[in-house]
Amino acid sequence: MVQITFVQPDGSRTTIDANEGASVMEAAVSNGIDGIFAECGGAMMCATCHCYVDDDWRDKTGERADGEEIMLECAAAELRETSRLSCQIRLTGALDGLVVHLPDEQA
Amino acid sequence: MAVAPVDETLTLAELTRDPYPIYKRMRAETPIVQVPAANRIFLTKAKHTKMVKDDPELYSSDDPVTPMRRAFLAHTLMRKDGEEHRRERMAMQPAFSPKVIKTDWADLYRKIAAEYLDRLPRGETVDLFTGLCGPVAARILAHILGLDEVSDADMQRWSQVLIDGAGNFGFADEPFARSDAANAEMDAVFDSLIPRHMAEPNNSAFSVMLNAKDPIPRSQIYANIKIAIGGGINEPRDALATIIYGLLTNPDQLEEVKRQEAWADAFEEGVRWVAPIQASSRRATRDLQIDGIDIPEGVTLMTIQASANRDEDLYEDGEAFNVFRKKAPHQAFGSGPHHCAGAHISRRTVGEIMLPMLFERFPGIKLDRPEDVVWSGFGFRGPLNLPVKLT
Ligand code: HEM
Ligand code: HEM
Ligand code: FES
């Protein structure tokens, strides 16, 4: 298990335990985190799972996936350097403690 | 190991009239059921419809015998899988993004909406379905696609002809003769618009696809635009009519929606309550099982989002229109790789623009005889008329 903390736009934080191998999106959805809609179920087709990776974790979460960029352009909220589609971040042991910030809108 | 139960007596006519009591019974008694009248296995539970749509390797959208191919004279992205699907889809997706809508289109949509609202007569009964929902959906789509020059009437006619052809499961000649004629008209119009979009690149879908660094073939650009014409008018039209009906028949909710400006919630509830596209087909690519029931290779599954959207596992009292219900994800826009390309657009145009403008313009709008509204449809569903009095 690895821990992930989700930070809402108002600053409130929720920490959950998630299985390695799951995506950050899947972990959020199965724990009922507000602000991750994930309407396409991880197919990289909806951009409603947009999140901002905390600066301290950017190296560990790695590069955007092939094709992720163009879908991120379609996200509702502002696009930043740290923007990722949470369905494209796979959880590994190295991501234990990961912090991601949620945008103010998804759809 | 078990073969799915068979519903021998159910007819398409019954499903077209009112599928909801039937789906409710199926969810309770036979959630996975063969329906010979449709030659398909119906999936009625949210967890099953989502699982199937999210897994294109086991459940393909590629239907080798679809009448759609004949109607569109092309194999379109809706019926493709994998990389080929992604490439064609991403070629136009940027034109449908919320940012482009905000920066490029929102003002224009407000202007269009105001114009169409201005035309509506006050104090007498008007059919909003034909007077507003259809034409405004057509006009907005024409701009998004880069077909500004095309009339509302042509947009709506092409859309209906394509839909009739794509739904021509009996392969009768006449609908294809009409779709062939419409394809010729559309191709000629598209050809004539290319110079403008090349000379003045813009954020319309046509221009974005033509001016891409590594464009998809011209034939697929045309096919994509046609899919958007076929799929981008009736659904927002039906969604708008459904939501207006829901609000007018629940005046308490309407008042509360106005007070809280909860138009986005009204939109989501309307498309959950009566999904404009009620079902989508997928083909099993090998012998499979769902919840212990055999799904033989090659069989066509009907994933019924209309039913999933009222599933008791997710919704309390899902048969009712209730804008303020506890939020739960719906599948009105599908799921997985074929998740609706126009979801963001529809939310903005119908939810953020049309609904508030209509109710602001006509605060006394009334549906005197809700029982006169005729609902119809199995593949696609919505009211066929919406006679209201505007004041
Ligand atoms: C409220 C309005 C709408 C609803 C409820 C809706 C619903 C859907 C659904 C359920 C699908 C998935 C079909 C499947 O799984 O096989 C779909 C696909 C699609 N929709 Fe929509 N739609 C709406 C509006 C629009 C608009 C305005 C456009 C065009 C701009 C559009 C373009 C598309 C396209 C291109 C696809 C095919 C995507 C693909 O196969 O990758 N839709 N829509
Ligand atoms: C075997 C019986 C039939 C089944 C199971 C069936 C099912 C469906 C479904 C699920 C759709 C939704 C869109 C999709 O997934 O592509 C659809 C589309 C459609 N169907 Fe049917 N249908 C049947 C027969 C008919 C008949 C007899 C007609 C009319 C004469 C018809 C008219 C349409 C139309 C107009 C569409 C829209 C096509 C599109 O744009 O996708 N269908 N059908
Ligand atoms: S879940 Fe749709 S893009 Fe990530």
- The two beta strands, B375-376 and B288-290, are unpaired
Q: Tell me how crowded residue A105 is: count the other CB atoms within 10 A of its CB.
A: 15
B300, HSE (Cβ side, Cα atoms, 13 Å): 16
- Whether B97 is covered by a domain: the verdict is yes
Residue A54: closest CA among A105, A89, A29? A89
- CATH classification of the domain holding B314: 1.10.630.10
Residue B28 belongs to what domain range? 12-390
For A46, which residue in chain B has the nearest alpha carbon?
B339
Confidence of residue B211 (pLDDT cuts 50, 70, 90): very high
Helix ranges (DSSP H) in B119-233? 128, 134-145, 152-166, 173-199, 205-210, 218-232
DSSP, residue by residue, B315-382:
-TTTTS--TTSPP----TT--GGG--TTHHHHIIIIIIIIHHHHHHH-TT-B-S-GGGPPEE-SSB-E
pLDDT reported for residue B96: 87
- Whether B125 is covered by a domain: the verdict is yes
Strand partners, B282: B301
Give the sign of the dihedral formed by CA B332, CA B92, CA B346, CA A6: positive
- Whether B5 is covered by a domain: the verdict is no
DSSP, residue by residue, B209-224:
HHT-SSPPPHHHHHHH
- Whether B277 is covered by a domain: the verdict is yes
- For A8-54, the pLDDT digits (tens) are 999 999 999 999 999 999 999 999 998 999 999 999 999 999 999 99
Contact call for A46 and B97, based on CB within 8 A: no
| B172 has pLDDT over 90 | no
B349, HSE (Cβ side, Cα atoms, 13 Å): 32
Q: Are the beta carbons of B248 and B365 closer than 8 angstroms?
A: yes
Take residue B297 and report the two structure tokens written for it. Answer: 């290779």
Give dist(CA B145, CA B134) in Å, integer: 17
pLDDT reported for residue B169: 75
Contact call for B339 and A46, based on CB within 8 A: yes
Residue B62: closest CA among B305, B294, B284? B284
Q: How far is CA B152 from each of CA B140, B149, B161, B370, rounded to the nearest angstrom?
A: 9, 10, 14, 28
- The two beta strands, A98-101 and A2-7, are parallel
| B369 has pLDDT over 90 | yes
For B284, phi then psi, to 5°, come to: -70, 125
Residue A31 belongs to what domain range? 2-101
| B65 has pLDDT over 80 | no
Helices (H) and strands (E) in chain B, counts: 19, 11
- For B303-313, the pLDDT digits (tens) are 999 999 999 99
**Better-predicted residue by pLDDT, B88 or B304:** B304
Give dist(CA B351, CA B246) in Å, integer: 14
| B93 has pLDDT over 70 | yes
Give dist(CA B147, CA B143) in Å, integer: 6
| B62 has pLDDT over 90 | no
Give dist(CA B44, CA B42) in Å, integer: 6
- Whether A94 is covered by a domain: the verdict is yes
Mean pLDDT of chain B: 93
ipTM above 0.95, yes or no: no
Measured CB to CB, residues of chain A less than 8 Å from chain B are 37, 39-43, 45-47, 67, 70-71, 73-76, 107
Greatest alpha-carbon span in chain A: 32
| A100 has pLDDT over 90 | yes
Number of residues assigned to chain A: 107
- Whether A107 is covered by a domain: the verdict is no
CA distance B323 to chain A (A): 17
Q: How far is CA A78 from each of CA A39, B29, B116, B295, rounded to the nearest angstrom?
A: 19, 47, 32, 44
Q: Angle at the Cα of B155 (from B154 to B159), degrees rounded to 5?
A: 110
pLDDT reported for residue B38: 87
Give dist(CA B244, CA B265) in Å, integer: 13
Give the sign of the dihedral formed by CA B279, CA A32, CA A107, CA B354: positive
Ligand 1 atom nearest residue B276's Cα: 5
Ligand 2 test: best mutation among B380, B381, B384, most atoms within 8 Å of CB? B380
Closest ligand (CA of B19) = 2
Domain total in chain A:
1
Chain B residues touching residue A85 (CB < 8 angstroms): none
pLDDT reported for residue B327: 86
- Whether B3 is covered by a domain: the verdict is no
For A36, which residue in chain B has the nearest alpha carbon?
B329
- Whether A55 is covered by a domain: the verdict is yes
Picking from A74, A85, A88, A104 by the largest number of B CB atoms within 10 A of its own CB, the best residue to mutate is A74
- For A60-74, the pLDDT digits (tens) are 999 999 889 889 988
CA distance A103 to chain B (A): 14
Chain B residues touching residue A45 (CB < 8 angstroms): 89, 336-339
Angle B263-273/B234-248 helices, nearest 10 degrees?
110
Residue B299: closest CA among B44, B59, B14? B59
Chain A contact for B85 (CB, 8 A cutoff): no
Question: Whose structure tokens read 């309770």?
Answer: B28
Contact call for A39 and B53, based on CB within 8 A: no
Q: Are the beta carbons of A14 and A29 closer than 8 angstroms?
A: no
- For B125-145, the pLDDT digits (tens) are 999 999 999 999 999 999 999
Give dist(CA B264, CA B355) in Å, integer: 9
- pTM, two decimal places: 0.90
Closest ligand (CA of B41) = 2
Domain total in chain B:
1
Question: Whose structure tokens read 């719906």?
Answer: B330
Closest ligand (CA of B305) = 1
- For B246-298, the pLDDT digits (tens) are 999 999 999 999 999 999 999 999 999 999 999 999 999 999 999 999 999 99
| B1 has pLDDT over 70 | no
